[in-house]
């Protein structure tokens, strides 16, 4: 008898099917791993199981102990004993570890908090995790790994029947991972069931009893861990053909090196944690360099750092057009040198949503329209119009507000803005995220046109088929380092994914 069962779950977002008739069974007292590439549907499935997407927003049914359940909210899911630990922290920085763990259910005498009992309980809990933290320590003084563990302790201590862990070890050090995995095994023996999601397959193989593999929103197979192997799981995760979604790249000679990154190390500004380690690569004129990797591998940090908006450089150099740029360049300096970034989050980093299409298009290249301090509005309009037409932005005219456009058209405006700076090197971060297939194809064609014109393109993408379809060369990143480089003739999904997981 399954403790938790999903039958024929289908979840659609505007135009995209995230889950297609997914079936999934969790037995009493097992650790069940969910594996799949980015975008395979793992997160969507969890959000259905935990009530974040309420009943009615999907098709199919959920059963707990054979009884059909309809979760209206996270609270309903918690009521039947499902607790989810996500990658985002929900701890309160200014409160102590003890207060955080028992938040909302502090032991009390009358209306007064029973501090003595609270600390006693917390000390026992922390000891069971081999954590050497004082209960009264403020959460903001903890490292990321410790915070993650506190988050887990809090969820586990709610005595839930079903524990869902989404990438719990992403921020943990090796010894912390070991403690966590051991604790999970103990919980299992005590009867708790656990859904475990991780990109780290060696962990999965260490704790999981069974593995369900998702691919493109479908549940491919469920296997017992002892009957399979890491390469077998990877094969099942990627097993798909690349269609002709990707326009043919004209095979042309590569030109000179336009951008060169030498032994780059960079740390997070906030906590000085080293995120990018010894990154070295070059991009040539006419080349598309793909950069792949799993969530948190440091791809976005790398692009944002190169563009001068993230992190502190510890060492290394950046050369554009053979010109060495020092480490405190702002985006405006870099744009002048011919580098531009198309960010992954267009609404946050790309667009002024309240303003017109034209306003956004020319925003990075206003200086070319200035004469004697005055903007030549007519010249600006005409130049914008050329870009507006070339990108086939679907709107009445360029005075239309950007916020009202579809995702694909917004993306075109962001790309148009970057291209109007007449760059030599263009960094694309997930340029096709959240846009429909037709718009995707247009973006791909645009990238090919750019390289035909002798520009260099760096393409970061979470989708392996996209990387393989578009790149001349692919670098994979893993935990802030380059974990493998592949030329077009040697691309296989298995090799790329293995490199992304640090298995090569």
Partner 1 sequence: MNLKLIRNLAMPFALVAICTFFAIKEPSFIGPRNLTQLIVEFSITGTLALGMFLVLLTGQIDLSVGSGVGLIGGLAAVLIFQYNVPAYLALGIGLVLAIIIWSLMGLLIVKHKIPSFIITLGGLLIFKGFFWQIIQNSTIPVSRGDVENIYSKLTTYYLPHQLGLILASVIAGLFAYLMHHARVARREHHLAVSGSLKPVLQWFVITTGIVGLTVIFNHFRGVPLTVLVLACSASVIYFLTQHTAFGRSIYAIGGNAEAAVLSGINVTRVTTLAYTLMGAAVALTGFMTTAYSGASTTTVGDLMELDAIAACVIGGTALRGGRGTVGGVIFGALIMTTLLNGMTLIAVAPEIKFIARGAVLTLAVWMDVRLSKK
Q: Which residues bind partner 1 (CB under 8 A)?
A: 307, 309, 330-332, 334-335, 341, 343, 348-355, 359, 362-364, 366-367, 369-370, 373-375, 377-378, 381-382, 385, 397, 399, 417, 421
> What is the rounded distance in angstroms from the CA atom of residue 281 to the CA atom of residue 412?
28
Q: Do 470 and 447 form a contact (C-beta atoms < 8 A)?
A: yes
Q: How far is the CB of 311 from partner 1 (least distance, A)?
A: 14
Tell me whether residue 248 or residue 348 sits nearer to partner 1 (CB atom): 348
CB of 366 to partner 1, least distance (A): 4
Complex with partner 1: residue 106 or 363, whichever CB lies closer = 363
Nearer to partner 1 by C-beta: 140 or 375? 375
Nearer to partner 1, 65 or 332 (CB): 332
Residues 6+ apart with CB under 8 A from 230: 201, 202, 205, 503
| 350/469 with CB nearer partner 1 | 350
CB of 342 to partner 1, least distance (A): 9
CB of 470 to partner 1, least distance (A): 23
Would you call 364 helix, strand, or coil by DSSP? helix
Cβ neighbours of residue 490 closer than 8 Å, sequence gap 6 or more: none
Angstrom distance (rounded) from CA 379 to CA 372: 14
Nearer to partner 1, 131 or 353 (CB): 353
State how far the Cα of 132 lies from the Cα of 152, in Å rounded to an integer: 16
Tell me the C-alpha to C-alpha distance, in Å, between residue 307 and each of 104, 399, 415.
43, 29, 15
Q: Least CB distance from residue 306 to partner 1, whole Å?
A: 12
Rounded Cα–Cα distance for residues 329 and 318 (Å): 11
Look up tokens 């390289």; give the residue: 451
Phi-psi region of 447 (alpha: psi -120 to 50; beta: other; left: phi over 0): alpha
In the bound state with partner 1, the residue whose beta carbon lies nearer, of 80 and 309, is: 309
Closest approach of partner 1 to the CB of residue 87, in Å: 22
Smallest distance from partner 1 to CB 271, Å: 18
């Amino acid at each position: 008898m399954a403790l938790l069962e999903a039958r024929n779950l289908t979840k659609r977002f505007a135009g995209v099917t995230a889950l297609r008739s997914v079936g999934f069974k969790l037995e009493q007292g097992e650790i069940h791993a969910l594996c799949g590439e980015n975008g395979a549907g793992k997160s969507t499935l969890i959000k259905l199981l935990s009530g974040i997407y309420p009943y009615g927003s999907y098709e199919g049914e959920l059963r707990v102990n054979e009884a059909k359940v309809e979760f209206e909210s996270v609270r309903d899911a918690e009521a039947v004993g499902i607790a989810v630990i996500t990658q985002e922290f929900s701890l309160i920085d200014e409160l102590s570890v003890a207060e955080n763990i028992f938040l909302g259910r502090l032991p009390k005498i009358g209306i007064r908090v029973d501090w003595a009992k609270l600390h006693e309980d917390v000390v026992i809990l922390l000891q069971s995790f081999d954590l050497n933290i004082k209960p009264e320590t403020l959460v903001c003084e903890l490292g990321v790994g410790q915070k993650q563990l506190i988050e887990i302790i809090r969820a586990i201590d709610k005595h839930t029947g079903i524990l869902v862990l989404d990438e719990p070890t992403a921020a943990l050090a090796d010894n912390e991972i070991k403690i966590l995995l051991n604790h999970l095994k103990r919980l299992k023996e005590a009867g708790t069931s656990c859904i475990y999601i991780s990109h780290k397959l060696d962990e999965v193989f260490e704790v999981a009893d069974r593995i369900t593999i998702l691919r493109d929103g479908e549940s491919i197979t469920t296997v017992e861990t002892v009957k399979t192997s890491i390469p077998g799981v990877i094969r099942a995760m990627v097993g798909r053909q690349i269609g002709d979604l990707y326009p043919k790249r004209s095979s042309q000679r590569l030109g000179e090196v336009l951008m060169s990154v030498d032994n780059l190390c960079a740390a997070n500004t906030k906590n000085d944690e080293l995120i990018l380690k010894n990154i070295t690569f070059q991009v040539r004129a006419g080349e598309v360099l793909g950069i792949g990797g799993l969530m948190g591998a440091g791809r976005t940090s790398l692009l944002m750092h190169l563009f001068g908006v993230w992190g502190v450089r510890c060492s290394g150099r950046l050369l554009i057009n053979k010109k060495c740029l020092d480490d405190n360049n702002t985006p405006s300096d870099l744009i002048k040198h011919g580098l531009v970034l198309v960010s992954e989050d267009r609404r946050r980093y790309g667009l002024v949503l309240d303003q017109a299409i034209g306003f956004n298009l020319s925003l990075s290249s206003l200086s070319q329209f200035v004469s004697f301090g005055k903007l030549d509005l007519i010249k600006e309009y005409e130049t914008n119009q050329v870009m507006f037409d070339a990108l086939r932005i679907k709107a009445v005219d360029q005075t239309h507000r950007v916020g009202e456009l579809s995702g694909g058209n917004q993306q075109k405006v962001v790309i148009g803005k970057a291209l109007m700076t007449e760059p030599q090197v263009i960094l694309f971060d997930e340029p096709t995220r959240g846009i429909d297939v037709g718009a995707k194809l247009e973006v791909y064609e645009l990238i090919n046109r750019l390289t035909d014109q002798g520009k260099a393109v760096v393409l970061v993408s979470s989708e392996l088929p996209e990387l393989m379809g578009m790149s001349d060369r692919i670098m994979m990143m893993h935990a802030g380092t380059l974990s493998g480089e592949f030329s077009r003739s040697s691309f296989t999904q298995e090799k790329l994914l293995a490199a992304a997981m640090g298995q090569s």
